């Protein structure tokens, strides 16, 4: 019951309405029963065909009614071809051709329920219907059109319409088909002019343009027409985002989602749109897409090779986005003479953190910064390579700077416009540099108060930026020591954000943040020492996967029961556990001590 | 704050607390008014209607109020002996949507063995196309909704082996868009209902990592309007059913905290009909079973402990899914 307002009527009017509805109901039930009975007997006729149309006019979502119509239509088409066959018996050439067609039709019809069981129906039963299949199909399109007028969002009606079109086009010349699809495009235009967001009609349009081989360029123009009529037409922007890469494909490895020349034109257009009405969200989504291509490509974050006591080496690789095993092998700076199997941190086929074991005598090398190759045998303790920063071409930077300038102008005009604030923050992030990121963080903070509904999003985004900065400063290329320490204390993290950035860290200190949820902890594959003091943790389950943990500190985490610690009992290497200043009931302390007997240093 | 011309206003007159008893009465009495206009006009979605009602009643802890024998017998009569599919009502034709609804009801009532399970498996798997997509029925309508129905149905029956899973995933990923969301078919615009279907299906198959969590999560949290309600696409009115499609999607992405839960709850509660019980799409409209389930399910996802916990993929009480030992993927949980 979408969008039907509850109206309070006077008792008189209500009674009147109830009588009306009851009449309508009885008529509908009788109609349906009549149809189902005819179907049961396998004896459809013109009356059944007409009454199903009336019922569908009232209730176009009753899919079985459309099924019944299709059964009748298929039967009538078959009849049409049989009659043609009869009529053309005295014409030798034609007979051969039509026989083929009829056979083909038979094959199809046989699959459809009951379609052939209506064969015994008398010809006179079909009086009043169009005489030829083509006329019948056309009149069927009118029936559907009138159902759609009444209910333009009926899945069943749109699907039936396309089915009829396909049936019709099976039987007519190429030239006539083109005519049909051209007319159908007109119908799409009509329905979109009534409701520019009707996604059923948009889907239909896509199917129609594919069948009618409408050039993508023409549809691109159509999307522009709609956008120019109304910048808020998200559907039209969406259509554009699908068509542009087809018509103006970028060369491989381009940093733009579409060809560079077009990119600049589109950018100008969308910036113009946001200037016209900065509160309109549709163009902002499009703008974000135009700028996003570069960031969406997966890149190496870190790769660490660590020599183990037995001489073998363990390799941990992390990437900016999830990748599959083939991509890991291709993107990893590790080059081995023999094949090596990578496993993902989550055990899933796509992940951002991957590990592999390399035998002590394996031949190979690691490409480090500057392209130099370090033989694997030269890695005595550990070696880490960090992924190179994204090389944003000068032209793209210029674009970003112009956009930054534009956004600042808009910001001056409308300081509290959330879309402007957000785009400003995004552009600053793309440009990088500590100053820009600091400004972006301030803007995100501002956004939390301007748009409080999404404060959680802005907080995560801001904290992620801070974490990224801290990682960039603290985790650099290195060839010394087995340990990689990360200090992420007091960054205001609300959760374990971007845990893949810490995949190579042996020591992770996230004390005094605001972390409640440890989801994603399985990415901390190298972690042996973990400090989470002063975080209001609710669930420790994700820690159970970190089998290397030797020292864990959970002081002042608001833990209230020994049962919460159960996931830690799976950690066989644990030798130090700090549980000070939690809220365990005194009676539970001995139980906790007892369950962690193997832990050398237990502070509770 | 940007202008929101497409939103509603919630006033003090709208309900502020959960009207549990009213809803139970609304649902239980619904099936008893068989001569009612609404009841007649919704015959073509009867099976789904029953699923909405039964699930809602169970969330409210009153499953015992429904007539289990009558329900199971109805479902048996709706199964098509030839194709194995299940129709939305007696004499209607089988369809993917009603087949999933029927299986959900039977699982809830622990009565799966009362139908021809192999028939259902044959029907559902037979609707998969070579590109991995699924038809809604034998007439060939393709939609990512049906991909979800097929995978959810077969998972509940523990028969995912019957379809090509890789191809199913491949097709759904072809329906993704620049905003991170999903549409009905390749090229279709993103829609919150479709996102739920695609994420749910990927979650069951353990393939959620293919999704761009942040881009999609952001689009989803932008669905919340100042009233607290959620719409299903940009520039559209809020509707309580999106409190399910969007909230469950955000739950699967582990980003439920990206919307404001208090305002969301206020909106959902305001869509209750204080006279008849039941939830509506927007405050002041006419209630129905569909919005009643999704209103309650949304409240459950938001942590309302007076309701049974709901599973974000199957939209069934969590205890039922636990009994079957079915696990789903939630981002960050692995």
The pLDDT, as a whole number, for residue A101 is: 38
Q: Is the pLDDT of residue A120 over 50?
A: no
Separation between Cα atoms, residue B275 and residue A196, nearest integer Å:
37
- Nearest in space to B78 (alpha carbons), one of B42, B52, B109, B114: B114
pLDDT at A93: 38
Task: Write out the H or E segment, with its range, that includes residue A355.
Answer: strand A351-358
Return all residues near B28 (Cβ < 8 A) that are at least 6 apart: B57, B62, B65, B66
Contacts of A232 in chain B (CB under 8 A): 234-235
pLDDT at A43: 85
Q: What percent of chain A has pLDDT over 90?
A: 69
Phi then psi for B136, rounded to 5 degrees?
A: -75, -35
**pLDDT mean over A288-316:** 87
Is a pLDDT exceeding 90 seen at residue B59? Answer: yes
Quickly tell me which residue has 């998969």 as its tokens: B128
What is the C-alpha separation between A165 and A543, in angstroms, rounded? 58
Q: Please answer yes or no on whether B41 and A348 come within 8 Å at the CB atom.
A: no
pLDDT digits (tens, 9 = 90+) for A156-180: 999 999 999 999 999 899 999 999 9
| Of B3, B222, B286, Cβ closest to residue A6 | B286
Is residue A121 over pLDDT 60? no
The predicted structure's pLDDT at residue B4: 65
Label residue A89 exposed, middle or buried (CB < 10 Å: 0-12, 13-18, 19+). exposed
Q: How confident is the model at residue A390 (pLDDT cuts 50, 70, 90)?
A: low
Residue A353: in which H helix or E strand, if any? strand A351-358
Distance CA A180, CA A177 (A): 5
Residue B103 predicted with pLDDT over 70: yes
**Does the structure show a pLDDT above 50 at A118?**
no
Whether the predicted interface score ipTM is above 0.90: yes
Asked whether the CA dihedral A519, A524, A529, A533 is positive or negative, the reply is negative
Identify each DSSP E strand in chain B by its residue range.
none
Q: With an 8 Å Cβ cutoff, are B334 and A347 in contact? A: yes
Please state, for a pLDDT cut of 70, what percent of chain A lies above it: 91
Least confident of A369-373, B110-114, B158-162, B197-201: A369-373
User: What are the tens digits of pLDDT across the range A473-531?
Assistant: 999 887 667 789 999 999 999 999 999 999 999 999 999 999 998 999 999 999 999 99
A299-308, B5-14, B19-28: range with highest mean pLDDT: B19-28
Yes or no, beta carbons of A349 and B207 under 8 Å apart:
yes
CA dihedral B136, B142, B147, B149 (to 10 degrees): -20
Distance from CA of A417 to the nearest CA of B (A): 6
pLDDT digit string (tens) for B260-298?
999 999 999 999 999 999 999 999 999 999 999 999 999
- Quote the CA–CA distance of B86 and B124 in Å, as a whole number: 10
Going by pLDDT thresholds of 50, 70 and 90, the confidence category of residue A84 is low
Q: Which residue has the higher pLDDT, A89 or A559?
A: A559
Q: Is residue B228 pLDDT above 60, yes or no?
A: yes
pLDDT at A122: 47
Contacts by residues A42-45 (CB-CB < 8 Å, ≥ 24 positions apart)? A42/A114, A42/A117, A42/A118, A42/A120, A43/A118, A43/A120, A43/A121, A43/A125, A44/A68, A44/A71, A44/A72, A44/A75, A44/A118, A44/A121, A44/A125, A45/A121, A45/A125, A45/A126
Q: How far apart are the first and last CA of chain A?
A: 58
Across chain A, what does the average pLDDT equal? 89
A321, containing H or E segment = strand A313-323
pLDDT at A277: 85
Probe site for chain B from A36, A56, A162, A238 (most B CB atoms < 10 A): A238
CB contact under 8 A, B210 and A350: yes
* pLDDT tens digits, B125-164: 999 999 999 999 999 999 999 999 999 999 999 999 999 9
Overall average pLDDT of the B64-86 stretch = 97
Q: What is the pLDDT of residues A209-235, one digit of tens each?
A: 999 999 999 999 999 999 999 999 999
Report residue A395's pLDDT band, with 50, 70 and 90 as the boundaries.
confident
> Looking at residue A293, what is its pLDDT?
63
Residue A88, pLDDT above cutoff 60: no
Tell me the pLDDT tens digit for each residue of B29-46. Answer: 998 888 888 899 999 999
- Would you say residue B251 has pLDDT above 80? yes
Question: For residues B313 and B252, is the Cβ–Cβ distance under 8 A?
Answer: yes
Cα(A536)–Cα(A27) distance, rounded to whole angstroms? Answer: 64
Q: What is the predicted pLDDT for the residue at A129?
A: 86
C-alpha to C-alpha distance for A463 and B221, rounded to whole angstroms: 18
Residue A105 in this model has a pLDDT that exceeds 60: no
Kindly state the tokens that stand for A543: 């820690």
Evaluate if residue A371 carries a pLDDT over 90.
no
pLDDT reported for residue A388 = 77
Name the pLDDT band for A90 (thresholds 50, 70, 90).
Answer: very low
Q: Which helix (H) or strand (E) holds B215?
A: helix B213-221
Which residue has tokens 């034709």?
B93
Long-range contacts of B148-151 (CB under 8 A, 24+ apart): B148/B196, B148/B197, B148/B198, B148/B200, B148/B201, B149/B96, B149/B97, B149/B99, B149/B100, B149/B124, B150/B96, B150/B124, B150/B125, B151/B200, B151/B201, B151/B204, B151/B205
Q: How far is B66 from chain A (nearest CA, A)?
A: 23
Q: Which of B93, B260, B290 sits opposite A64 (nearest CB)?
A: B93
Query: And the tokens for B14?
Result: 């709208």
Whether pLDDT at A116 is above 60: no
Residue B3 scores a pLDDT above 60: no
Confidence band of B309 (pLDDT split at 50, 70, 90): very high
Q: Report CB contact under 8 Å: A519, B263.
A: no
User: Is the model's pLDDT at A108 over the cut of 70?
Assistant: no
Confidence at A295, pLDDT banded by 50, 70, 90: low
Cα angle, residue A404 at apex, residues A400 and A410 outer, rounded to 5°: 145
Contacts of B194 in chain A (CB under 8 A): none
Q: How many CB atoms lie within 10 A of CB A55?
A: 19
**CB hemisphere CA count around A185 (13 angstroms):** 18
pLDDT at residue A241 is higher than 50: yes
What whole-number distance in Å separates Cα of residue A502 and Cα of residue A353? Answer: 10
* Joined tokens for residue A379: 């890695």
Length of chain B: 334
What average pLDDT score do residues B176-187 get? Answer: 97
Q: What is the mean pLDDT of residues A77-91?
A: 60
- In this prediction, residue A275 carries a pLDDT of 84
* Mean predicted confidence (pLDDT) in A240-245: 96
Write the DSSP string, A481-508: -S--EEE-TTS--SS--SGGGGTT-SEE
Among B15, B45, B189, B259, the residue to mutate for chain A (most A Cβ within 10 A): B189
Q: What percent of chain B has pLDDT over 70?
A: 99
The reported pLDDT for the residue numbered A294 is: 59
pLDDT at A513: 97
Average pLDDT of chain B?
Answer: 96
Contacts 24+ apart (CB under 8 A), A339-346: A342/A317, A345/A503, A345/A522, A345/A523, A345/A525, A346/A522, A346/A523, A346/B209, A346/B334
Mutation target vs B (from A5, A6, A15, A523; most B CBs, 10 A cutoff): A6
Is the CB of residue A374 less than 8 Å from the CB of residue A331? no
């Amino acid at each position: 019951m979408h969008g039907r307002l509850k109206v309070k009527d006077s008792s008189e009017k209500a009674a009147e309405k109830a009588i009306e509805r009851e009449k309508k109901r009885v008529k509908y039930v009788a109609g349906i029963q009549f149809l189902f009975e005819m179907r049961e007997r396998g004896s459809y006729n013109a009356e059944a065909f007409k009454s199903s149309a009336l019922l569908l006019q009232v209730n176009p979502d009753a899919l079985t009614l459309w099924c019944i119509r299709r059964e009748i239509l298929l039967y009538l088409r078959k009849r049409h071809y049989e009659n043609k066959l009869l009529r053309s018996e005295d014409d030798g050439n034609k007979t051969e051709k039509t026989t083929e067609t009829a056979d083909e039709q038979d094959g199809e019809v046989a699959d459809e329920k009951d379609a052939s069981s209506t064969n015994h129906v008398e010809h006179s039963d079909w009086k009043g219907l169009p005489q030829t299949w083509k006329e019948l199909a056309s009149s069927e399109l009118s029936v559907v059109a009138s159902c759609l007028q009444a209910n333009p969002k009926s899945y069943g009606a749109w699907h039936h319409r396309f089915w009829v079109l396909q049936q019709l086009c099976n039987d007519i010349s190429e030239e006539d088909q083109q005519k049909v699809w051209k007319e159908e495009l007109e119908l799409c235009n009509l329905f979109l002019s009534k409701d520019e967001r009707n996604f059923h009609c948009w889907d239909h349009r896509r199917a129609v343009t594919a069948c009618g081989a409408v050039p993508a360029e023409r549809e691109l123009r159509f999307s522009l027409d709609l956008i120019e009529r109304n910048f808020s037409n998200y559907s039209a922007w969406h259509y554009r985002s699908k068509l542009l890469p087809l018509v103006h494909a970028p060369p491989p490895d381009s940093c733009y989602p579409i060809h560079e020349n077009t990119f600049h034109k589109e950018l100008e257009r969308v910036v113009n749109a946001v200037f016209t009405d900065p509160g309109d969200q549709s163009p902002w989504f499009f703008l974000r897409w135009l700028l996003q291509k570069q960031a969406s490509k997966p890149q190496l974050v870190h790769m660490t090779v660590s020599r183990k006591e037995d001489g073998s080496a363990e390799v941990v690789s992390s990437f900016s986005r999830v990748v599959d095993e083939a991509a890991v092998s291709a993107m990893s700076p590790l080059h081995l003479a023999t094949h090596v199997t990578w496993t993902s941190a989550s055990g899933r086929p796509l992940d951002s953190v991957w590990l592999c074991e390399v035998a002590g005598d394996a031949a190979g090398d690691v490409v480090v910064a500057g392209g130099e190759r370090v033989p694997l045998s030269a890695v005595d303790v550990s070696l880490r390579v960090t992924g190179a920063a994204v090389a944003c071409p000068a032209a793209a930077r210029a674009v970003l700077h112009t956009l930054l300038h534009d956004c600042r102008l808009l910001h001056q005009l409308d300081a509290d416009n959330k879309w402007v604030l957000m785009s400003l923050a995004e552009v600053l992030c793309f440009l990088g540099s500590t100053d820009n990121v600091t400004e972006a963080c301030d803007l995100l903070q501002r956004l939390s108060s301007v748009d409080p509904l999404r404060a959680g999003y802005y907080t995560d985004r801001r904290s992620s930026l801070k974490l990224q900065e801290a990682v960039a400063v603290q985790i650099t290329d290195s060839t010394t020591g087995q340990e990689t320490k990360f200090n992420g204390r007091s960054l205001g993290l609300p959760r374990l954000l971007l845990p893949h950035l810490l995949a190579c860290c042996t020591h992770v200190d996230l004390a005094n943040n605001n972390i409640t949820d440890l989801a994603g902890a399985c990415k901390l594959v190298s972690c042996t020492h973990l400090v989470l003091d002063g975080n209001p943790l609710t669930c420790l389950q994700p820690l159970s996967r970190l089998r290397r943990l030797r020292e864990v500190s959970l002081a002042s985490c608001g833990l209230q029961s020994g049962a919460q610690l159960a996931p830690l009992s799976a950690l066989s290497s644990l030798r130090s556990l700090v549980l000070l200043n939690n809220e365990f009931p005194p009676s539970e302390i001995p139980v906790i001590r007892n369950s962690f007997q193997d832990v050398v240093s237990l502070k509770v | 704050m940007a202008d929101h011309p497409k939103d509603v206003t919630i006033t003090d007159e709208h309900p502020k607390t959960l009207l549990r008893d009213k809803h139970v009465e609304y649902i239980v009495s619904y099936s008893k008014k068989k001569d009612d206009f609404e009841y007649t006009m919704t015959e073509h979605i009867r099976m789904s209607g029953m699923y909405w009602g039964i699930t809602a009643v169970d969330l409210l802890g009153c499953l015992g109020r429904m007539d289990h024998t009558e329900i199971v017998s109805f479902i048996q009569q709706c199964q098509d002996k030839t194709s194995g599919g299940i129709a939305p009502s007696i004499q209607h034709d089988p369809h993917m949507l009603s087949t999933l609804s029927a299986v959900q009801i039977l699982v809830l009532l622990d009565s799966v063995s009362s139908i021809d399970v192999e028939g259902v498996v044959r029907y559902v798997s037979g609707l998969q196309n070579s590109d991995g997509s699924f038809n809604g029925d034998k007439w060939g309508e393709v939609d990512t909704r049906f991909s979800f129905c097929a995978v959810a149905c077969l998972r509940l029956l523990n028969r995912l082996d019957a379809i090509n899973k890789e191809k199913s995933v491949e097709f759904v990923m072809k329906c993704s868009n620049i905003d991170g969301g999903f549409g009905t078919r390749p090229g279709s615009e993103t829609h919150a209902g479709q996102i739920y279907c695609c994420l749910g299906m990927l979650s069951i198959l353990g393939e959620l990592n293919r999704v761009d969590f942040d881009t999609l999560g952001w689009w989803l949290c932008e669905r919340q309007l100042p009233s607290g309600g959620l719409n299903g696409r940009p520039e559209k009115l809020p509707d309580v059913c999106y409190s399910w499609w969007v909230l469950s999607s955000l739950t699967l992405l582990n980003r439920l905290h990206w919307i404001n839960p208090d305002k969301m709850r206020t909106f959902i509660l305001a869509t209750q009909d204080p006279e008849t019980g039941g939830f509506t799409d927007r405050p002041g409209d006419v209630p129905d079973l569909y919005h009643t389930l999704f209103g309650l399910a949304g409240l459950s996802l938001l942590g309302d402990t007076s309701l049974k916990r709901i599973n974000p993929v199957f939209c069934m009480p969590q205890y039922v899914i636990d009994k079957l030992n079915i696990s789903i993927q939630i981002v960050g949980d692995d």
